[in-house]
Amino acid sequence: MAKGKICRSKRRRLLTRLSAAGLLFAVAWCASTALAETPSKPLSANDVSILFPPPKSPADLGGLIAVSDLAGPTGSAQRLLSDADFARFIANAENPEREGVPDSGVGRIHLPEAVKKIDAWFVAGIRIDPGAPGLSADVIAQFGRQPQIRLIIQPVTNGPQGFKVHDTAGHLIFSFNLEGDPPLDGCAPFPRFKPDDEAFKAIVRDVASLRDQLAAGKFGNVKVSTAGDMNVHPGLVGASAKPFRDAIKALLEKHLSPLRLNTMAVMGISPPEPWVFVSMLRVPKAGLIAVPGPTLDGVHAAQMFSIVGETHVVPRPVTNNQNPTTCRHAALQTPPLPAANRKGVSTADFIDADVPNSRVLEIVNVIADPKKSHFFNTDCVSCHTETAQLLKRKVQGFTVPGVNRAVLPKEDWNVRNFGWFPSFLHGGPAAATITRRAAAETAEVVTFINRQLLNK
């Protein structure tokens, strides 16, 4: 009997110990699981619009990402931007119009020979966007939603004439979409975009992780916050710059592929001006072609902004940003949306005319609003001049919320939207530039990601 009591006592102590161990294990497991499932904090503007500092000397190039160094898929020797795609990019920039198209009066982009080599091009900025051409319900209903990563690239050379950041920029647009839905009536051949949100949410998670690592001092042993107004990315300055640059490059190579590169754009000059804008699209059989401007005549692909001469914007756009949102436009649609059916505003309305400042402000308020204006209803020149022209005119009531004053355009011929501007009038180092339009788009992106993609 005594022996039985001893055995039962031992069993109770053993069960108690096992229960305690199990409880400790459960507590530890729950704690680790809770830590792993801790929601990411909301992203900020600088997390999704990443601006690199403009280089001032050859030594600064080591802190940038050379386009020629961006690798393609793991295990392949292919570059992210292939030789063939780069060649088409250069060819379309210099000769955008199709054979037989009447001369519109637009000048030609003249690229120096050194700029025609891929080694000259560097990433000036990165835009992470969950939905082109816009994120409003009306735009999505007409066009669908195409998540993108856009690389803003610019050429920098160091030759006999010295170190130079060129007044030329390109966009490489990598898309994340599934097979699209049929186009709405009258909008063929463009299907409505269907987002690949699973692939894009993986990008969002990695962006949030980089932000958190930066804040924890994982790059260069300095803790860096990305909160606040848009500026040159704070992680790309100081001790964190090189390791953070390497982490960004790794993120791009992880998620981007040459097969996702379906759209490009270029802005270049015929020195010292005019500035010429051209958009490009990959189409079946023909490959990357220069696309007729959606707000032009359905024929011409290039638009020009010039200082000299009586007309500063050629061709004069016929925009459609004051009508209800529609997928109808003038690019590759047969027939194109007639000019008579369009209603809209452009910066040409006041650049080429004497317009009261109150009206000027009304115009740019439409152009800078991504809910009203987008690529298919507003011309390139308008989106690239709405901030610089207003700041130069000192229009009362015009403000640029969310952008550090240091990176606002300082002269009215700065047509950079998000990148580096080298002034041919004043010289000096290239200036980092962010406009109101870029800030408005970024604010819309941040809101959408934080509400619908982050922690989902």
Give the pLDDT score at 13: 52
Domain membership flag for residue 28: no
DSSP 8-state symbol, 52: P
Residue 30 is assigned to a structural domain of this protein: no
Quick check: 18 pLDDT over 70?
Answer: no
| Residue from 130, 169, 134, 176 nearest 152 by CA | 169
Cβ distance 126 to 64 under 8 Å? Answer: no
Is position 5 within any domain?
no
| Cβ neighbours of residue 201 closer than 8 Å, sequence gap 6 or more | 453, 456
In angstroms, how far apart are the furthest CA atoms of the chain? Answer: 115
Mean pLDDT within 329-339: 94
Would 115 be classed as within a structural domain? yes
In a domain, 411, yes or no: yes
**Which among 130, 134, 168, 162 has a CA at the least distance from the CA of 149?**
130
> Is the residue at 34 inside a domain?
no
Q: Give tens-digit pLDDT for 252-278.
A: 999 999 999 999 999 999 999 999 999
Amino acid at 214: L
φ, ψ of residue 277 to 5 degrees: the values are -115, 135
Among the residue ranges 7-11, 35-39, 109-113, 180-184, the one predicted with the least confidence is 7-11
Give pLDDT, residue 3: 46
pLDDT at 377: 98
The model's pLDDT over 370-416, given as tens digits with 9 standing for 90+, comes to 999 999 999 999 999 999 999 999 999 999 999 999 999 999 999 99
Give the pLDDT confidence of 29-84 residue by residue, as tens digits: 343 344 446 889 999 999 999 999 999 999 999 999 999 999 987 666 789 999 99
What is the value of pTM for the model shown?
Answer: 0.91
In a domain, 117, yes or no: yes
Instruction: Classify residue 1: in a domain, yes or no.
Output: no
Residue that is written with structure tokens 């229009």 in the block:
395
For residue 285, what pLDDT band results from cuts at 50, 70 and 90?
confident
Contact 293, 331 (CB under 8 A): yes
Number of domains in the chain: 1
Residue 427: what pLDDT? 87
Structural domain boundaries, residue 134 = 41-452
**Of 80 and 3, the one with more pLDDT:** 80
Identify whether the C-beta of residue 180 lies closer than 8 Å to the C-beta of residue 194: yes
List the one residue out of 111, 81, 138 whose CA is nearest residue 282.
81
Find the mean pLDDT for residues 11-35: 42
